[in-house]
Structure 1
């Protein structure tokens, strides 16, 4: 069985559709699963991120940025 590649900050950002800075902010705030490390590089198991995405709350009514 092939082992799935671990995701970097860039991979998680791409999956979420946000910037890498946003992923770093989520980490800093403790708003996402804690990473493992390969050397000094934070990495995540894709299955852990996918499960977190399923459980995370949406923006809710009136959430997000205002336009206009």
Structure 2
């Protein structure tokens, strides 16, 4: 796979400043949304690999997702809520 760094849910939680459980919830919600065909652009991306039983993502992919996801206090989140796209 090359020399890229991979992040597990604990590392992603640390980047986001949330508990590991929250990162697990983001992942589970995204998996369910993709399965049900209701995925949103800001959902957590699909894992790039699985090490053992742990999903992992390329660091660059997660950093891009973090930058693009609407947070509760961003203009993107406010606009998404106005248009009925945010939960």
| Secondary structure at 1:4 match in 2 | coil
Structure 2: segments with no counterpart, 5+ residues: 31-42, 78-87
How much does 1:34 deviate?
Answer: 1.4
Match of 2:46 among 34, 37, 42: 34
Instruction: Tell me the equivalent position of 1:66.
Output: none
RMSD, aligned CA: 2.0
Counterpart residue number, 2:6? 6
Matched residue count: 61
Structure with the higher helix share, 1 or 2: 2
Q: Secondary structure at 2:7's aligned position in 1? A: coil
| Ranges of 4+ aligned residues in structure 1 off by more than 2 Å | none
Give me the whole-angstrom Cα distance separating, in 2, the residues matched to 1:26 and 1:40: 17
User: Scaled by the length of structure 2, what TM-score is found?
Assistant: 0.62
CA displacement, residues 26-62 of structure 1 (integer Å, 9 cap, x when unaligned): 011103011121121111100000110111012048x
